[in-house]
Amino acid sequence: MRKLLYLFFSMALVAVLTTYAMWAADRPAGHYLSDLRIKLAVDQGTPADRGNLLGIQPELFPTDYQSPARLRRKLAAYLQRAQDQGLLNDKTVVVLPEHVGTWLMISGEKDELYQAPTLAEAMNWLAASNPLLFARAWLSAKGKDRLDDAHLRMKSRTMAKDYQALFGGLAKEFHVTLVAGSIVLPEPSIRDGQLKPGSGALYNSSVVFGRDGAPLGQPQRQLHPVFSQRDVIQANEKTINVVDTPAGRLGVLIGSDSWYPDNYRKLDEQGAQLIAVPAQVFGQGAWNQPWRGYKSSSTPSSVSLKPGEVSEGQAWHRLTLTAQPPSSHAVAGMSVFLRGQFWDKSGAGQSFLNSNGQQFADGEARGARMLNIWL
């Protein structure tokens, strides 16, 4: 009798595991319909032979990330629209928002993930449908929050490959320099022309791709991750990178790195003429809510702005010093935010550009937008 029970439970366990394995391996492609429209919200300056800085503020949703091909289709439609309007040339620098590459972590997943009501539930589906990848990532997690670390780490090799193929491919196809927003990867670096993840801490990083689709320099890692991310994302202790583009020397400040005056000094020392700021603000109505102060480990002594004095959006405008002498001697800068809805998290930022001490902003709350400045 004992042997019979043992055999019964063994067969039941095998059946359960087999069913689970078949379920986890099944990746049906759901119906896909996405809005490819984009509006030119800001267009400053006069076309010349010095090029232009073009911000693409996309409106994205989890279903746009069901495959890299779907995301490429949407971003390529935006760039094609820019090309049709005469905004692309050999000296164009295109800027995409923060974490536009990070969401590649949900590519190729099951319908249950995309249909989840909350981000937390979506991440549960991510782990459940990739048990071996998740277990391996959890065991090698470096951050204090091992669960979130594992979610971001588990697909890092595929994410890095897809990120370069997608954004490098777009840069090459449209013959532009492309600041590919940012992506969270473990110790990312460019080796032999390829973006490769390491095995250490996670960094929020941005790669600039040249007109030939190849990376320019090393990934720029974020220097000051916000408090809500510091248990997972490591602060960068390296210098700020500046790369040469056909439009001039370019520096990248990720998110609230643009709030630190010392970062502009470092860029000035390296002769940066253009500054790209991939950014994001999540939360319904967050752009108009009171600013909560610096969200990282330190507040610059030279900044007198106090939490609650202004709104979140006004703080971004006040603290981002791009192209505002004497703080920054760059010719122009662009802060580009991610729009869209990711489960229960909505993008609230409104992109803006800086030139000659002036700011020009997109005041619309919804929809994909382009912001352009001729240099």
Angle at which helices 119-128 and 131-139 cross, to 10°: 100
What integer pLDDT is reported at residue 357 of this predicted model?
83
What integer pLDDT is reported at residue 19 of this predicted model?
44
DSSP3 helix / strand / coil % (the chain, rounded to 5): 35, 25, 45
**C-alpha pair distances (Å), 93 with each of 46, 248, 274, 334:** 16, 9, 9, 10
What integer pLDDT is reported at residue 322 of this predicted model?
87
pTM (2 d.p.): 0.90
Residues in Cβ contact with 269 at an 8 Å cutoff, skipping those fewer than 6 apart: none
Amino acid symbol at 350: Q
Contact 240, 219 (CB under 8 A): no
What are the residue boundaries of the structural domains of the chain, listed by start?
Answer: 36-374
Amino acid symbol at 175: H
What integer pLDDT is reported at residue 324 of this predicted model?
85
The DSSP symbol for 247 reads: T
Place of tokens 């102060």: 293
- Copy the structure tokens of residue 314: 């006004």
CATH number of 36-374: 3.60.110.10
CA distance 175 to 21: 43
* DSSP bridge partners of 251: 242, 275
Question: Which is nearest to 252 in space by CA: 213, 297, 294, 204?
Answer: 204
Under the phi-then-psi rule, with left for phi > 0, alpha for psi from -120 to 50, and beta for the rest, what region is 131?
A: alpha
| pLDDT tens across the length of the chain (375 residues) | 555 445 444 444 443 344 444 444 555 555 566 788 999 999 999 998 999 999 999 999 999 999 999 999 999 999 999 999 999 999 999 999 999 999 999 999 989 999 999 999 999 999 998 999 999 999 988 878 899 999 999 999 999 999 999 999 999 999 999 999 999 999 999 999 999 999 999 999 999 999 999 999 999 999 988 755 667 888 887 789 999 999 999 999 999 999 999 999 999 999 999 999 999 998 888 999 999 888 766 788 788 888 889 999 999 999 998 888 888 899 999 999 999 999 999 888 999 999 988 898 887 767 899 999 999
What integer pLDDT is reported at residue 31 of this predicted model?
53
Residues in Cβ contact with 113 at an 8 Å cutoff, skipping those fewer than 6 apart: 62, 106, 122, 125, 126, 129
What integer pLDDT is reported at residue 7 of this predicted model?
45
Question: Which is nearest to 327 in space by CA: 246, 254, 272, 247?
Answer: 272
What integer pLDDT is reported at residue 358 of this predicted model?
87
Which DSSP string corresponds to 36-103?
---EEEEEES---TT-EEEEEE-EE-GGGGSSHHHHHHHHHHHHHHHHHTT---TTEEEE--TTTTGG
- Copy the structure tokens of residue 56: 């693409």
